[in-house]
Amino acid sequence: MGTIRTHYLIRRGRVLSLLSLILACIVSNSHEETIRRNQFPVEFLFGTSTSAYQTEGAILEGGRGLSNWDVFSHVPGKIETGENADTADDHYHLYLQDIDLMHSLGINAYRFSISWARILPRGRFGDVNPTGIAFYNSIIDNLLRRGIEPFVTLYHHDLPQELEDRYGGWLSPLIQEDFGYFAEICFRRFGDRVKYWSSLNEPNLYAHFAYLRGMYPPGRRSEMEPFTVLHNMLLSHARAAYLYRSRYQQKQGGSIGIVVNTAMYEPLRDEAVDREAVSRALAFYVSGVLDPLIHGDYPPEMRHHLGARLPKFSVEESKALNGSIDFIGINHYSSLYAKDCINSPCPTGESHAFLGFVYTTGFRDGVAIGEPTPMPRFFIVPDGLEKMVEYIKTRYNNKPTFVTENGIAQLDQPGQREVLLHDNKRVEFLKGYLASLARAIRNGADVRGYFVWSLMDNFEWTNGFRMRFGLYYVDYQTLERTPKLSAKWYRDFLTPNATDEYDDLLVKRSRVANWRGVEVDI
Ligand SMILES: *[C@@H]1O[C@H](CO)[C@@H](O)[C@H](O)[C@H]1NC(C)=O
Ligand SMILES: *[C@@H]1O[C@H](CO)[C@@H](O)[C@H](O)[C@H]1NC(C)=O
């Protein structure tokens, strides 16, 4: 009996020391990867990001007009889940509570968009809606009251339907005058308090998804329309920037930029043609937006491959575009492999002029480029952010840059609320991407802010409510918001001394469990 007991004690001792060894490894690893607020400049903006259509709801309230998305999402088959954003997060009614959530996170900036149809229900063909103006005034005032900088997008995929019906929306040059009209109202009414304006969110993704893939309204599938749309979007930006700079900027002291969708690319094969495909994909998709706004014309790479098919800017237009942004916003989620489609064959229907005749995929020989996520083309590749920032820094002479979106989705699982609240994967994602961003900054990149997509779960376009990107979980029945583990992590990250506490939590689970009643399994 004595022997057995001794044996047991020895074994138990070994198990314990093995456990503490593992624990020590976890702790020292996590220590190595620890990302701290003080690795970023003091004045750095740390925020969360949302957009109007994805969160506001109340589509028929407060004098709002219908948008392209209201109409599109009600067409059967357009949204995978058959859902729409008629109510969404009901942020229209719950915005004060949401601003309190932001305050509790400790963020110093909030990126949101203004619903065009809430300000101008009929575009410039009708009156300004005073209830819409009052709504955004209240958001802005309440943010500032809590020390949160409003970072405002004018167009985040939602257009007054009237402009689509009247002249085909972004396909027509008439949109430039409408966008300028809308932008000027926002500068005049909100610009005394808003210091960061983004004209357009992801014109490249919008042109691609709405006019090539048919996934976003107006749901068209064309090889050349995306170029027309991008052209009109760029000129619309130039119009807004001209109005801002000539009439408001000096007095109001703010800045205007644009937000571009980015993926980083790696060559599918270690071959010259695929390395060129990487350069071409970046030149067409990212620089196709930024070159015109910084240098006054499309990238030479696009001119070279497209010739006369590429729309041309007049001398006047080129002047208006040239140097028309004060900062670059990048939305970044993932890296993809790039395969050349000019010198070698690609899967049918996968060589598009708009995307630079490059086929992109997350897989090489069946192996993913990074850990897969529920979004089919989003993989976890933290280094991609550093590389993307480096590309921007090099090509645009280190222009001030903001990471305006970065985040990861969870697939909704009915009845799995507790599981979704324990989003360790999102915490690891944020740590990895922030560490990558910190490296880019250490290497001299002038990055001035970072926004997590998203503050809370919301309507993820064609995916409906299935993809949950939020730091806060939203119960779409009760509209209750509940902080996920990642909200806690972000809060602690932003409150320097609390970060140490988080590392302790890796071994002291019970302390996390007590946090607002959330059970955590690390
Ligand atoms: C853009 O502006 C720069 C400097 O102001 C100038 O050197 C360049 O030629 C302009 N580009 C175009 C296409 O007008
Ligand atoms: C943070 O920690 C440092 C060192 O432990 C301490 O001096 C400082 O007072 C703490 N700050 C806050 C806000 O708790």
Q: What is the 3-state secondary structure (H, E, C) of 451-502?
A: EEECCECCCCHHHCCCEECCCEEECCCCCCEEECHHHHHHHHHHCHHHHHHH
Ligand 1 centroid vs 301 CA: distance in angstroms?
18
Q: Domain for residue 500, yes or no?
A: yes
Q: 113, 183 in Cβ contact below 8 A?
A: no
Query: In the block, which residue shows the tokens 């999402």?
Result: 73
Best residue among 290, 291, 295 to mutate for probing ligand 1, ranked by most atoms within 8 Å of CB: 295
- What pLDDT does 418 receive? 97
Ligand 2 centroid vs 497 CA: distance in angstroms?
6
Best residue among 303, 322, 324, 397 to mutate for probing ligand 1, ranked by most atoms within 8 Å of CB: 322
Class of residue 57 by CB neighbours under 10 A (exposed 0-12, middle 13-18, buried 19+): buried
- Residue whose CA is closest, atom 3 of ligand 1? 295
CA 329, CA 156: separation in Å to the nearest integer? 13
Q: Domain for residue 122, yes or no?
A: yes
Class of residue 514 by CB neighbours under 10 A (exposed 0-12, middle 13-18, buried 19+): exposed
Residue 85: left if φ>0, alpha if ψ -120 to 50, beta else—which one? alpha
Q: Domain for residue 357, yes or no?
A: no
Of all ligands present, the nearest one to the C-alpha of 38 is 2
Strands 371-372 and 379-380: antiparallel
Of all ligands present, the nearest one to the C-alpha of 318 is 1
Domain count, the chain: 1
Ligand 2 centroid vs 502 CA: distance in angstroms?
15
CA 212, CA 277: separation in Å to the nearest integer? 20
CA 241, CA 246: separation in Å to the nearest integer? 8
For 94, phi then psi, to 5°, come to -105, 15
- Residue whose CA is closest, atom 8 of ligand 1? 295
CA 201, CA 217: separation in Å to the nearest integer? 15
CA 84, CA 79: separation in Å to the nearest integer? 7
Q: Is the CB of 295 under 6 A from ligand 1?
A: yes
Q: Domain for residue 345, yes or no?
A: no
- Cross-strand partners of 48: 110, 452
Amino acid at 457: D
- What pLDDT does 497 receive? 63
- What pLDDT does 1 receive? 38
- What pLDDT does 503 receive? 53
- What pLDDT does 10 receive? 43
Of all ligands present, the nearest one to the C-alpha of 37 is 2
Ligand 1 centroid vs 323 CA: distance in angstroms?
8
Q: Is the CB of 255 under 6 A from ligand 1?
A: no
Q: Domain for residue 188, yes or no?
A: yes
CA 52, CA 111: separation in Å to the nearest integer? 10
- Residue whose CA is closest, atom 2 of ligand 1? 322
- Residue whose CA is closest, atom 6 of ligand 1? 295
Q: 197, 152 in Cβ contact below 8 A?
A: yes
Ligand 1 centroid vs 326 CA: distance in angstroms?
16
Ligand 1 atom at minimum distance from 297 CA: 13
Q: Is the CB of 299 under 6 A from ligand 1?
A: no
Q: Which candidate in 162, 301, 405, 460 is catalytic?
A: 405
Q: Domain for residue 494, yes or no?
A: yes
CA 164, CA 89: separation in Å to the nearest integer? 26
Q: Which domain holds residue 144?
A: 40-269+382-512
Query: In the block, which residue shows the tokens 């954003």?
Result: 85
Ligand 1 atom at minimum distance from 319 CA: 14
Amino acid at 366: G
CA 182, CA 185: separation in Å to the nearest integer? 5
Ligand 1 centroid vs 299 CA: distance in angstroms?
13
Q: Domain for residue 139, yes or no?
A: yes
CATH number at residue 149: 3.20.20.80
- What pLDDT does 444 receive? 98
**3-state SS assignment for residue 426:** helix
- Residue whose CA is closest, atom 7 of ligand 1? 295
| Cα-trace Rg, the chain | 24
177 is catalytic: no
Question: What is the model's pTM?
Answer: 0.89
Ligand 2 centroid vs 84 CA: distance in angstroms?
47
Ligand 1 atom at minimum distance from 315 CA: 14
Of all ligands present, the nearest one to the C-alpha of 497 is 2
Q: Is the CB of 356 under 6 A from ligand 1?
A: no
Question: CA nearest 51: which of 159, 144, 129?
Answer: 159
pLDDT tens, per residue, the chain with 522 residues: 344 443 444 444 454 455 544 444 444 444 446 899 999 999 999 999 999 999 999 999 999 999 999 999 999 999 999 999 999 999 999 999 999 999 999 999 999 999 999 999 999 999 999 999 999 999 999 999 999 999 999 999 999 999 999 999 999 999 999 999 999 999 999 999 999 999 999 999 999 999 999 999 999 999 999 999 999 999 999 999 999 999 999 999 999 999 999 999 999 999 999 999 999 999 999 999 999 999 999 999 999 999 999 999 999 999 999 999 999 999 999 999 999 999 999 999 999 999 999 999 999 999 999 999 999 999 999 999 999 999 999 999 999 999 999 999 999 999 999 999 999 999 999 999 999 999 999 999 999 999 999 999 999 999 999 999 999 999 999 999 999 999 999 999 998 665 555 455 444 333 333 332 333 332
CA atoms within 13 A on the CB side of 297: 12
User: What is each CA distance from 494 to 314, 387, 401, 444, in whole angstroms?
Assistant: 47, 25, 20, 22
CA 113, CA 290: separation in Å to the nearest integer? 21
Of all ligands present, the nearest one to the C-alpha of 296 is 1
Q: Is the CB of 296 under 6 A from ligand 1?
A: yes
CA 461, CA 463: separation in Å to the nearest integer? 5
Q: Is the CB of 312 under 6 A from ligand 1?
A: no
Q: 324, 241 in Cβ contact below 8 A?
A: yes
Q: Is the CB of 292 under 6 A from ligand 1?
A: no
Class of residue 108 by CB neighbours under 10 A (exposed 0-12, middle 13-18, buried 19+): middle
366 CB neighbour count, 10 Å cutoff: 5
- What pLDDT does 34 receive? 85
- Cross-strand partners of 196: 151, 255
Question: CA nearest 288: which of 274, 304, 275?
Answer: 304
Ligand 1 centroid vs 291 CA: distance in angstroms?
11
Ligand 1 atom at minimum distance from 296 CA: 13
Ligand 1 centroid vs 259 CA: distance in angstroms?
22
- Residue whose CA is closest, atom 12 of ligand 1? 296
CA atoms within 13 A on the CB side of 377: 11
Q: Domain for residue 102, yes or no?
A: yes
| List of residues 6+ apart from 249 with CB closer than 8 A | 255, 256
